Amino acid sequence: MTSDPTKRESIRLTIEGMTCDHCAVGIARALRSVKGVTHAEVSYATKAAIVQVESPTPVDHLVHAVSSAGRYSARVVAAPTPSSAARGALDEGTADLLIVGGGSAAFAAAIRAADLGATARIVEAATMGGTCVNIGCVPSKTMIRAAEKLRGAAHNAFSGISLSARLVDYAATVHQKDGLVADLRKAKYADVLESYPSVSYSQGTAQFAAGGALTIDGRPVAVSKILIATGAHSWEPPIPGLAETPHWNSTAALAATTLPAHLVVIGGGAVGIEIAQMMLRMGSRVTVLEALPGVVPNEDVDVRIGLAAALRDEGMRVEVGVRVAHVGGRPGAYEISVEVGGRSETIASDALLVATGRRANTGALGLSEAGVLTDARGAIVVDEHQRTSNPAIYAAGDVTGDPMFVYVSAHTGAVAAENALRGDRVVRDLVGMPRVTFTDPGVASVGLTEAEARRSGAEVIASTLGLEHLPRAIAARDTRGFVKLVVDASTRRLLGAHILAPEAGEMIQETVFAIRHGITVDDLARTMHPYLTRAEGIKLAAQALGKEPSRLSCCAA
């Protein structure tokens, strides 16, 4: 009997007890043997399974199948509901906009389409929610906060108070993180879909066939407008030995339930440095190896130097200007051969994380069949309207090579949907785009670095306020970092803002508005800011232009 594709549903399970990829293969085989299961994928890295079933299939049969495959246990995260079954039945050819991918760009596009009175269909090959909620922002930031609590309890600057803390169960912290991810995926993605009847969601693999026709799981789909929002994946450089050596990417590092004694991180960008500090504070010894002259290499030079110094003060080994000559070994026994500071060295570790950037998920889409151009790194080339070289196809989010932030993806997804449905009326606008790295002290910035501003030909003045001059930092007994403003000397407009401070991300938004709307540094200096807040650092930095910061009073107007 032929199955009805409209009755297929996805069930997500979290699985405990796996120790390697071979475990995942065995569990997937067991799940596929359950009556009603049409497809099952299991990931050791994310400790999860996605099972495609034909209703009705009791979820306890799936849980039993997992336990029967070995010493594993499973918990259902997402099971089919009558409402989702009905929504999945939307005919493939009826949607005004078909969206390939299920992350933030895709959801922003679908919601924008609904707001415009159109229908949209999201087709996702993997897990609903994309990178941010599943393997990126959400899991990393909650683990970072946990490590910060541990560090804060053990390092107290106040007299008369005794604090202590110790890590008793790292796996429990990881499992709590997994629960948060599942809750937010449901609340911010699955539940949101329920409020948009004109948007449907289904699992499936999209690919362009010969002649440019779009297929889903091999079946041609008739649709007039397509939006590609397939995101990006971890990219690794061609280091000798790396491809043959099992190691972590950021996803696997955040999924691990055991702390390494010594972690080596190749890559000192935001992702690598965040995980490095988190594990350092949890109790690992950590070495960071960065090829460029500084960590967080896209930031202002003062930020790069200041953050590296803060991390070294905590006990992290940070090496920059490194050439990794060879990687070898296995989990528990790695050897990383490097050239640093004019000398050669072999570093031994029991865990290795490679965090050297991300590349667009385009390799399996068959884009050339549809006449969609990509750049040298595989990212889809789009114009200011998010339109590709094929006028019927748009793209948004990480797959286009835009700055890989969830808010950029959401913005470009909405722009792409509106232009696809109503003509190219809206232009992508990334003026005043902020960047935040969630280290401690944190990094937040917007606009041009001082070096970039000077290269632009502008007459530049800069003001740097050390946090030893910020009353809030003094009262908190934590004066690590600074606020730096880069200003056009002739117009007095803010060109860039760069903050190294605890909770830097909570301070940056004022300068985002300033750059986006042409607010001058004098406007910032004259604006009342509440006393004993970190935001006051922006005002004091503005007042410090041309002044010695130590001469500023907290009452200065």
Domains plus CATH for the chain? 1-80 (3.30.70.100), 87-234+357-430 (3.50.50.60), 250-356 (3.50.50.60), 434-551 (3.30.390.30)
CA separation for the pair 293, 303 (Å, rounded): 12
In the set 44, 128, 132, 143, the catalytic residue is 132
CA separation for the pair 96, 77 (Å, rounded): 31
Confirm whether 132 is a catalytic residue: yes
In the set 18, 282, 404, 507, the catalytic residue is 18
166-202 confidence digits (pLDDT tens) = 999 999 999 999 999 999 999 999 999 999 999 999 9
Token match 């390939």: residue?
100
Confirm whether 196 is a catalytic residue: no
In the set 1, 20, 170, 279, the catalytic residue is 20
* Contact assessment for residue 28 and residue 42, using Cβ atoms and an 8 Å cutoff: yes
Residue numbers of the chain with a pLDDT score lower than 70:
1-10, 21-22, 44-46, 55, 77-94, 553-557
CA separation for the pair 110, 200 (Å, rounded): 9
In the set 23, 278, 282, 433, the catalytic residue is 23
In the set 72, 189, 201, 334, the catalytic residue is 72
* Contact assessment for residue 308 and residue 327, using Cβ atoms and an 8 Å cutoff: no
What DSSP string runs through 49-89?
Answer: EEEEEESS--HHHHHHHHHHTSS-EEEEEE---HHHHHHTT
Question: What are the structure tokens assigned to 304, written together?
Answer: 């790069």
Confirm whether 201 is a catalytic residue: no
Surface-to-core class of residue 275, CB atoms within 10 Å of its CB (0-12 exposed, 13-18 middle, 19+ buried): buried
In the set 278, 404, 531, 554, the catalytic residue is 554
Radius of gyration of the chain (CA): 25
Helix (H) or strand (E) holding 107: helix 104-115
Counting every residue, how long is the chain?
557
Token match 């079954």: residue?
85
Q: What is the pLDDT of residue 307?
A: 98
Identify any residues that bridge with 13 across adjacent strands, giving them in sequence order: 49, 76
For residue 212, what are the CA distances in angstroms to 227, 369, 392?
14, 5, 11
Q: Which long-range contacts (CB under 8 A, 24 or more apart) does 63-70 make?
A: 63/13, 65/30, 65/31, 65/33, 65/34, 66/13, 66/15, 66/27, 66/30, 66/31, 68/30, 69/26, 69/27, 69/29, 69/30, 70/17, 70/23, 70/26, 70/27
Confirm whether 334 is a catalytic residue: no
CA separation for the pair 335, 373 (Å, rounded): 40
Confirm whether 433 is a catalytic residue: no
Confirm whether 555 is a catalytic residue: yes
Q: How open is the CA angle 206-208-214, to the nearest 5 degrees?
A: 70
CA separation for the pair 128, 149 (Å, rounded): 30
Q: What is the pLDDT of residue 500?
A: 98
Confirm whether 23 is a catalytic residue: yes
Type of residue found at 155: H
Please say whether the dihedral angle defined by the alpha carbons of residues 228, 233, 236 and 242, taken in this order, is positive or negative: negative
Confirm whether 18 is a catalytic residue: yes
For residue 324, what are the CA distances in angstroms to 292, 296, 318, 353?
12, 18, 14, 13
Q: What is the pLDDT of residue 55?
A: 61
Q: Strand, coil or helix: what is 557? A: coil
